[in-house]
Structure 1
Amino acid sequence: MTQISDQTKRDLRAFPSRLPAFYFGADYNPDQWTPEWGYQDEQIWLEDIRMMKLAHVNVVTIGVFSWVGLQPAEEIVNFAWLDRILDLLAQNEIFVCLATPTAAIPAWLAARYPEVLPVDAQGIRRGHGSRQNYCPTSPVFRRLAANLVRQLAERYGNHPALLNWHISNEYYGSATEGKDPCYCERCQARFRQWLQTRHGSLEQLNRDWMTAFWGHTYTDWEQVTMPGPYTDQGVQGQMVDFLTFVSDMYLECYLNEQEILREITPEIPITTNFLGVFRRLDLSRWAPHLDVMSYDSYPARTTHPADIAFQHDVMRSLKGGQPFILMEQTPSQVQWMAQNPLKRPGVMRLLSYQAIAHGANAIQYFQWRQSRGSSEMFHGAIVAHAGHEHTRVFQEITKLGTELGALSTGPGKGLLEARNLARVALLFSWSNWWNVEFRPGPSDQIRYMDEVLQYYRALWKENIAVDIISPDTDLTPYKLVVAPLMNMVSAEQGAAIEAYVANGGLFVTSYFSGVVNEKTLAWLGGYPGPLRKTLGIWVEEYDPLEPDMANTIVVPEGSPLAAGRYSARLWCDLLHLEGARALASFGEDFYAGYPAITEHQFGKGRAFYVATRPEEALLSSLLTSLRNDLQLAHPIISATEGIELVQRTGAGSGSYTFVLNHSTNAAHVTLSEPMYDVVSSTLYEGRVEVPAKEVLILRELSHENLPVNP
């Protein structure tokens, strides 16, 4: 290992703890290139470092899929190439997010230990290849992974370039989407053990799953199997438990490696990168075990900017508002969609700033240098196959890197310590997600994420800051709590919501809520179960509409909502008032005149129920009314459509308001007092035109007296 002075070591090691700059970089995978172009060619490394410094890159992720490169056989390890690269990076003050390479097992491992490979629902063992292609309960996989991780930690734990650990990659993610989980006998046995811990006894499991229905009652633990296409999938509690179990088994794989890293390098932060907010992993169960949340963002060209913002807000909220790492995004295009258009000029920068606005303090890309071959040969990279810096993409990256470097030391230096402060919470739960979409169910058209995003988009459109939290989180810091499609509600959650509203909170939920408890058993006595008293309603029936069916919602004059007739689709709850009042009613069918939107004054607060999926305009009217009641609008800035306003606030350093123009045309903001942009050091006042895809980060002049360009 290259000798580095003690002072340099102290300076480098201080980097992660002081957080003096935004982390800016990319995956760096020299072991994936051909020998004449890759980890045997130091001239390429030196050229890469030269260009990294041009682009103001200060961190790279290394080793993500390097298992075979580091361990070409079980008895052989080869760290020489990684030693040299880490030394070169440290000498150039470029730091390393060092990955454990366990997401892709070597061919030699699969050949020597075929039992590591997963078994599908038909009992067929899958062959070697792809990623995350291993049985998560395999003791052989866990032993070999742990052995390699221990060697990495012991060798590099004190290396001055080491910034943080990155365990595996996209657990149960991209490459395994659409594939069955592992159904081997070991997983079946582990599932039964997991259930015994969760339920305590077989008798309790039978009660919790209500297995007496259709004579499913189990009389021996060995009778219990993982649900699948060739076994029973008709027990709702079993399905939700099974999905939780699979998520937990991958979490155990993560913890198998984390425990070693924590033992050897207790001061080094540990993370793993998730494939966004996706259905397969319950990230609320993972978050307590990560020092910092990290995820990969790959929106399509047509993805709504609110949907991207939602993902950011989930990642920030999972750690109580702590900044997160945007570990991967493409600088230009991906290769795995049916068509893969380029990001248009300005879009990469805009999306990167959107992540920072919502709480990211690290912006990274996949990847630094474009792969010369194989499945990701045409995936975009900072350095294209041309191999030099004279490209549009490289210049855009360099511009952003320059700006982030200036923000870290100039008028925006307080931004790193600033946090997103939300007074609105949106309740989100993976177990509820799995439960809502259980089949058979009342409607195969229900999509939990669609409902969540409908409400989130309405809040986003009003530029309302939102935390995305578990239903078990303390609600008292929030003025408004929104819980779309909260079908699963425990008695404890219902009591917490009741107390929250009674003490002055505002609560909004939607149709088919309060139907089952945390064990997926229906609440008796009438829906919405433990929310009935708070909402002041009783739901007698529900009408899941077929795709060609619709109803109307009638809002009368004098309602706090915008009067008129609106469409209602997907679902209609037929409910009775028990203290609540109707703000709107259904206009058609035999339940014309039944309440469609209700408000209940309960204690010092109010609770609202939306008994259908209303059109966007009506939902916006409801949330705009609540925003105005709570005075949640920005006090200084108003914006035209297409502009997203996001604020980060620092202790003693004032607020930074991001102005993000997602539209393809110029838009405008109006300032009630002069403000300056910390990106361009430009003073703005009055009506300001914001070009398409442009970003401003505005501060009030009273916070800091700095020279600005008029």
Structure 2
Amino acid sequence: YHPSQYDLTGYEITACGNIIRSLKDDNYLILETEAQGNQAWLPFPGQLRLQAYSHIGNGSNSVMYWHWHSIHNAIESYWKGVLSHDLAENATYREACVIGNEWKAIGDHIKNLKKVNRIAMVLDNSSLTGLSHFPTENNKECSYNAVFRAFSDALTDMNIEYDVIPADEAYFYESAQDGAADTASRSLRYDLVIIPALYSAKESYLNAVNSYVEGGGNVIASFKSGFSDEYLKIYSDTQPHIINKCLGIHYDQFTYPKDITLTYSCSSSADQKHAGAYRTNEAEGTFSGKCTEWMELVTCDSAESLAAYDHKYWGMYSAVTLNSYGKGKAAYIATLPEKNTMVQILSDLLERIDLKEPAKLAFENHDKLIVKQGINDKGSHVLFFLNYSDEEMTVKNISGDAADLLQAAPVKKDESFTLLPWGVVILEY
């Protein structure tokens, strides 16, 4: 369930879908989602269909609505179903019929969609509990989810797909081959692991993070990571505990950012291809953005400082760092940047890490365009182009000759196609 109309972003569909798809390590079912929903969420024409294809593009094999018809008494009387209280056909019902008829025609091409992601984000319930008791400035009991969503929403804006994994070192690697249990004999499952606010962490896991980076993996960790053990007892040595080794930093003080910004220096080779409209001061190679919720006063040991706080007293400390450690790299974000700044930072870090995903097809990036992709039962690549705006959008097909599944028409390489407001195009390669 999520806002609709002009507040429809696709963020919740992506974050929650990634969690359950990764938990199953397989496709999943949407057993319940909004139809008309509450009064503020009545979808604009096309949005019900857009949401449905967003679920399928994320790896779901179904969309089911709560509920069939709006009920006539009790607490959810105004939680509207597919049908309104008069039980008659309406716009929502007719749009649901469109979705069903389309799936009859193309369902075999879009079901059982498999993802091959090389990026994962850690999700940890103990850290959620810890930050509910020891929160950031304004997010209070939602502090952990707010940090997780800040990274998730930024990746969604950048059209970077990711899996969600627990704080368990086994998920860094592919299954052991030939009975080999040691990590040196196992290939990496992910090239980049993002660790947002891992407040509660076992020492064995923190040591495994060091080993993962040393062996060629890459990490982006945020503030409040490695701060306490699995029982929420704060570690009594250098922070962040143990992973300061791969991060090449330390800190011992933190505060709330009061009207504080950071200035970030971009890589000279970075073209910020994921940042879209968010890039600023391109000629100078820097950008600035507001810090929110929390800030740690980080000192670099072996790490390079990529961003500093714009502040009379805290300006000597780093807000974002990057360290080479063994065969990999480890970045640290010591504050919660505002949304646009987070996109810019992650975009530059991905360029510096030189992350590549050879199993993915290339596509044109546009603001408010979400692209999801996977491999279907036929072994074909399928790309879902999802227009999360009320403006028509023209996109060029840059990956090769394809078939437009919804229009049953060919789309040649370098040919452009049009997405209507809140529209969907699905290309099979």
Q: TM-score range by the shorter chain?
A: 0.7 to 0.9
Whether the 8 Å contact between 2:288 and 2:341 is mirrored in structure 1 is: no
Tell me, yes or no, if structure 1 residue 308 matches structure 2 residue 8.
Answer: no
Q: Could you list the per-position Cα deviations for residues 411-469 of structure 1 after superposition, in whole angstroms to 9, with x for gaps in the alignment?
A: xx243232122111111112111101215x67454511111111111111111111111
Query: Counterpart in 2 of 1:327?
Result: 31
**Rg: which structure is higher?**
1
Deviation, 1:684, is 2.4
Alignment of 1:190-209 (within 5 A): none
Aligned to 1:471, which of 148, 164, 167? 167
Identity %: 23
Q: Could you list the per-position Cα deviations for residues 305-331 of structure 1 after superposition, in whole angstroms to 9, with x for gaps in the alignment?
A: 2233111111111112x1111111222
Deviation, 1:514, is 1.2
Tell me, yes or no, if structure 1 residue 519 matches structure 2 residue 261.
Answer: no
Query: Counterpart in 2 of 1:432?
Result: 127
Whether the 8 Å contact between 1:551 and 1:589 is mirrored in structure 2 is: no
**Taking structure 1 as reference, are residues 325 and 514 closer, same or farther at Cα in structure 2, changes over 3 Å only?**
same
Alignment of 1:392-431 (within 5 A): 392-408=91-107, 413-431=108-126
Provide the rounded CA distance (Å) in 1 between the counterparts of 2:417 and 2:144: 39
Deviation, 1:556, is 4.1
Query: Counterpart in 2 of 1:484?
Result: 196
Secondary structure in 2 aligned to 1:362?
coil
Q: Could you list the per-position Cα deviations for residues 358-411 of structure 1 after superposition, in whole angstroms to 9, with x for gaps in the alignment?
A: 11101111122332333333332333343344x222211111111111123xxx
Query: Counterpart in 2 of 1:449?
Result: 145
Deviation, 1:658, is 0.7
Q: Which amino acid aligns with 2:14?
A: A
Q: Which amino acid aligns with 1:399?
A: V
**Taking structure 1 as reference, are residues 573 and 665 closer, same or farther at Cα in structure 2, changes over 3 Å only?**
same
Query: Counterpart in 2 of 1:567?
Result: 290
**Taking structure 1 as reference, are residues 650 and 387 closer, same or farther at Cα in structure 2, changes over 3 Å only?**
closer
Q: Could you list the per-position Cα deviations for residues 492-526 of structure 1 after superposition, in whole angstroms to 9, with x for gaps in the alignment?
A: 21122112111111100111221101111111211
Query: What is the root-mean-square deviation of aligned Cα atoms in Å?
Result: 2.2
Whether the 8 Å contact between 2:138 and 2:293 is mirrored in structure 1 is: no
**Taking structure 1 as reference, are residues 567 and 381 closer, same or farther at Cα in structure 2, changes over 3 Å only?**
closer
Q: Note the residue ranges of structure 2 that are not aligned, 5 or more in a row.
A: 174-188, 271-284
Alignment of 1:179-258 (within 5 A): none
Whether the 8 Å contact between 2:4 and 2:43 is mirrored in structure 1 is: no
Provide the rounded CA distance (Å) in 1 between the counterparts of 2:116 and 2:370: 16
Aligned to 1:607, which of 330, 335, 345? 330
Runs of 4+ in 1 over 6 A off after TM superposition: none
Provide the rounded CA distance (Å) in 2 between the counterparts of 1:454 and 1:638: 23
Whether the 8 Å contact between 1:667 and 1:692 is mirrored in structure 2 is: yes
Tell me, yes or no, if structure 1 residue 550 matches structure 2 residue 259.
Answer: yes
Provide the rounded CA distance (Å) in 1 between the counterparts of 2:268 and 2:260: 20
Secondary structure in 2 aligned to 1:340?
helix
Provide the rounded CA distance (Å) in 1 between the counterparts of 2:171 and 2:267: 35
Whether the 8 Å contact between 1:415 and 1:656 is mirrored in structure 2 is: yes
Q: Which amino acid aligns with 2:404?
A: D
Tell me, yes or no, if structure 1 residue 530 matches structure 2 residue 237.
Answer: no
Query: Counterpart in 2 of 1:698?
Result: 427
Query: Counterpart in 2 of 1:631?
Result: 356
Provide the rounded CA distance (Å) in 1 between the counterparts of 2:266 and 2:128: 37
Q: Note the residue ranges of structure 1 that are not aligned, 5 or more in a row.
A: 1-296, 701-710
Provide the rounded CA distance (Å) in 2 between the counterparts of 1:604 and 1:388: 63
Provide the rounded CA distance (Å) in 2 between the counterparts of 1:544 and 1:341: 34
Normalising by structure 2, we get a TM-score of 0.85
Provide the rounded CA distance (Å) in 1 between the counterparts of 2:266 and 2:24: 44
Alignment of 1:72-221 (within 5 A): none
Provide the rounded CA distance (Å) in 1 between the counterparts of 2:127 and 2:266: 36
**Taking structure 1 as reference, are residues 544 and 406 closer, same or farther at Cα in structure 2, changes over 3 Å only?**
same
Q: Which amino acid aligns with 1:631?
A: K
Provide the rounded CA distance (Å) in 1 between the counterparts of 2:33 and 2:67: 8
Aligned to 2:341, which of 599, 613, 618? 618
Query: Counterpart in 1 of 2:53?
Result: 353
Whether the 8 Å contact between 1:488 and 1:514 is mirrored in structure 2 is: yes
Normalising by structure 1, we get a TM-score of 0.52
Higher relative contact order (CA 8 A, sep 6+): 2
Deviation, 1:697, is 1.4
Secondary structure in 2 aligned to 1:327?
coil
Deviation, 1:550, is 2.2
Structure with greater proportional helix content: 1
Secondary structure in 2 aligned to 1:370?
coil
